[in-house]
Amino acid sequence: SFLQGSKLEIPLWLAKGLHDSKRRIISVELPKIYKEAWRTVFSADANVVDLHKMGPYYYGFGSQLLNFENPENPEIAQTDSVCFLQTFIARFRRIMDSSQNAYNEDTSALVARLDELERALFQVGQKGLNDFQCWEKGQASQITASSLVQNYGKRKLTEVDG
């Protein structure tokens, strides 16, 4: 059994299950990367932070934390969602630029500091670059529309039919 005020690290899914604003079974303390000191670092230069080391799912985990009541609310809900967005915007351009300029190179150093969402974006950029290079060399047999474009077209047709 635990005494009131005991601190314990538990998985997010368990914290979500135990968190109840009426019964106050648990309170959730923000990990240090989401606290005000780190928000200041992100606002100064988001590109210097090693997100993978601090938390490989920075954006996804952080958005889940916004569901918990916290002593630092209400400004946290506003500043964190803005901070996530500003951090993402600040880092996005560098990620896409580096993914488009790294052809046939070892990219492990480029992705080492990225969180998992950013790594996925980098891979999409690399695939686009590689596909373009193949097409430019005449190695692509045919150009096809991306699945996003195809799904958008299907959705538009469904809306017209309905």
Does residue 44 or residue 113 have the better pLDDT?
113
CATH 2.160.10.10 describes domain 12-157: no
Give the C-alpha distances (Å, rounded to integers) separating 157 from 53, 144, 148, 149: 45, 19, 14, 12
- The reply to whether the predicted model has a pTM over 0.75 is no
115-125 per-position pLDDT tens digit: 999 999 999 99
pLDDT of residue 70: 64
Domain chopping of the chain, boundaries: 12-157
Q: How far apart are CA 38 and CA 66, in angstroms?
A: 16
